[in-house]
Structure 1
Amino acid sequence: MQQIARSVALAFNSLPRPHRVMLGSLTVLTLAAAVWRPFVYHTESAPVAKSITLGKDDIRSLLPEASEPIDQNAQEDEAIPQDELDDKIASVTGLHEYVVSTGDTLSSILNQYGIDMTEIGQLVQADKDLRNLKIGQQLSWTLTAEGDLKSLTWEMSRRETRTYEQAKNGVWKMKSETQQGDWVNSLLKGTFNGSFVTSARSAGLTTTEINAVIKAMQWQMDFRKLKKGDEFAVLMSREMLNGKREQSQLVGVRVRSGGKDYYGIRAEDGKFYDRTGAGLAKGFMRFPTSRQFRVSSNFNPRRVNPVTGRVAPHRGVDFAMPQGTPVMAVGDGEVVVAKRSGAAGYYVAIRHGRSYTTRYMHLKKLLVKPGQKVKRGERIALSGNTGRSTGPHLHYEVWINQQAVNPLTAKLPRSEGLTGAERREFLAKAKEVVPQLRFD
Structure 2
Amino acid sequence: MQQIARAVAMAFNTLPRTHRVMLGSLTVVTLAVSVWRPFVYHPTVSGENPIVKSIELDKEQLRTLLPEASEPIDQDMPSPDDDVPKDEIDQDVPSETGTHDYVVSSGDTLSSVLNQYGIDMGDINQLVKVDKDLRNLQIGQQLSWTLTDDGQLQRLTWEASRRETRTYDRSGNTFKSSAAVQQGEWQNNVLSGTVEGSFVTSARNAGLSSGEISAVIKALQWQMDFRKLRNGDRFSVLMSREMMDGKSQQSRLAGVRLQTGGKDYYAIRAADGKFYDRSGAGLAHGFMRFPTARQYRVSSNFNPHRLNPVTGRVAPHKGVDFAIPLGTPVLAVGDGEVIVAKRSGGAGNYVAIRHGRQYMTRYMHMKKLLVKPGDKVKRGERVGLSGNTGRSTGPHLHFEVWINNQAVNPLTAKLPRMEGLTGKDRNDYLAQVREVTPQLRFK
Same fold (TM over 0.5): yes
Shift of 1:90: 1.8
Conservation of the 8 A alpha-carbon contact between 1:358 and 1:398: yes
Partner of 1:367: 370
For the pair 1:344 / 2:333, whether they are aligned, the reply is: no
Cα distance in 1, alignment partners of residues 379 and 5 from structure 2: 74
Q: CA RMSD in A?
A: 2.4
Cα distance in 1, alignment partners of residues 415 and 364 from structure 2: 20
Conservation of the 8 A alpha-carbon contact between 1:99 and 1:270: yes
Shift of 1:92: 3.3
**1:23-422 alignment, distance < 5 Å:** 57=60, 60-72=63-75, 75-76=78-79, 79-168=83-172, 170-422=173-425
Cα distance in 2, alignment partners of residues 325 and 408 from structure 1: 20
Shift of 1:56: 5.5
The residue type equivalent to 1:120 in the other structure is: I
The residue type equivalent to 1:122 in the other structure is: Q
Cα distance in 1, alignment partners of residues 115 and 5 from structure 2: 72
Task: Report Cα offsets for 1:368-398 as digits up to 9, x if no partner.
Answer: 1111100000111000000111110000000
Shift of 1:65: 2.4
Cα distance in 1, alignment partners of residues 120 and 58 from structure 2: 35
Listed as ranges, the gaps of 5+ residues in structure 1 are: 1-12, 23-39, 42-51
Conservation of the 8 A alpha-carbon contact between 2:199 and 2:226: yes
SS in 1 for 2:133: helix
**Percent identity between the two aligned chains:** 70
Cα distance in 2, alignment partners of residues 429 and 399 from structure 1: 33
Task: Report Cα offsets for 1:6-58 as digits up to 9, x if no partner.
Answer: xxxxxxx9x99838999xxxxxxxxxxxxxxxxx99xxxxxxxxxx9998655
The residue type equivalent to 2:371 in the other structure is: V
Question: Residues 435 and 364 from structure 1, CA distance in 2 versus in 1: closer, same or farther, beyond 3 angstroms?
Answer: same
Task: Report Cα offsets for 1:339-370 as digits up to 9, x if no partner.
Answer: 11111000000011101100000011000111
Conservation of the 8 A alpha-carbon contact between 1:70 and 1:390: no
Question: Residues 352 and 245 from structure 1, CA distance in 2 versus in 1: closer, same or farther, beyond 3 angstroms?
Answer: same
Partner of 1:3: none
Cα distance in 1, alignment partners of residues 7 and 98 from structure 2: 81
Cα distance in 1, alignment partners of residues 312 and 6 from structure 2: 68
Question: Residues 273 and 58 from structure 1, CA distance in 2 versus in 1: closer, same or farther, beyond 3 angstroms?
Answer: same
The residue type equivalent to 1:246 in the other structure is: Q
Shift of 1:94: 2.5
Question: Residues 117 and 18 from structure 1, CA distance in 2 versus in 1: closer, same or farther, beyond 3 angstroms?
Answer: same
Question: Residues 185 and 309 from structure 1, CA distance in 2 versus in 1: closer, same or farther, beyond 3 angstroms?
Answer: same
The residue type equivalent to 2:86 in the other structure is: Q
Task: Report Cα offsets for 1:174-212 as digits up to 9, x if no partner.
Answer: 211111211111111111111111111010000000000
Conservation of the 8 A alpha-carbon contact between 2:150 and 2:314: no
Listed as ranges, the gaps of 5+ residues in structure 2 are: 12-41, 44-54
**For 2:7, which of 11, 18, 24 is the aligned residue?**
18
Cα distance in 2, alignment partners of residues 285 and 422 from structure 1: 26
Shift of 1:60: 3.4
Cα distance in 2, alignment partners of residues 273 and 171 from structure 1: 39
The residue type equivalent to 1:424 in the other structure is: N
Cα distance in 1, alignment partners of residues 214 and 5 from structure 2: 93
The residue type equivalent to 2:78 in the other structure is: Q
Question: Residues 89 and 20 from structure 1, CA distance in 2 versus in 1: closer, same or farther, beyond 3 angstroms?
Answer: closer
Question: Residues 54 and 420 from structure 1, CA distance in 2 versus in 1: closer, same or farther, beyond 3 angstroms?
Answer: same
Shift of 1:143: 1.5
Question: Residues 308 and 18 from structure 1, CA distance in 2 versus in 1: closer, same or farther, beyond 3 angstroms?
Answer: same
The residue type equivalent to 1:176 in the other structure is: A
Conservation of the 8 A alpha-carbon contact between 1:73 and 1:314: no
Cα distance in 2, alignment partners of residues 320 and 294 from structure 1: 6
Conservation of the 8 A alpha-carbon contact between 1:73 and 1:313: no
Cα distance in 2, alignment partners of residues 20 and 209 from structure 1: 85
TM-score (norm 1): 0.86
The residue type equivalent to 2:406 in the other structure is: Q
The residue type equivalent to 2:269 in the other structure is: R
Conservation of the 8 A alpha-carbon contact between 1:338 and 1:347: yes
Aligned residues: 399
SS in 1 for 2:325: coil
Cα distance in 1, alignment partners of residues 221 and 239 from structure 2: 18
Cα distance in 2, alignment partners of residues 306 and 331 from structure 1: 35
Cα distance in 2, alignment partners of residues 16 and 394 from structure 1: 53
Shift of 1:115: 0.2
Question: Residues 59 and 419 from structure 1, CA distance in 2 versus in 1: closer, same or farther, beyond 3 angstroms?
Answer: same
Conservation of the 8 A alpha-carbon contact between 1:73 and 1:312: no
Question: Residues 413 and 120 from structure 1, CA distance in 2 versus in 1: closer, same or farther, beyond 3 angstroms?
Answer: same
The residue type equivalent to 1:283 in the other structure is: G
The residue type equivalent to 1:167 in the other structure is: S
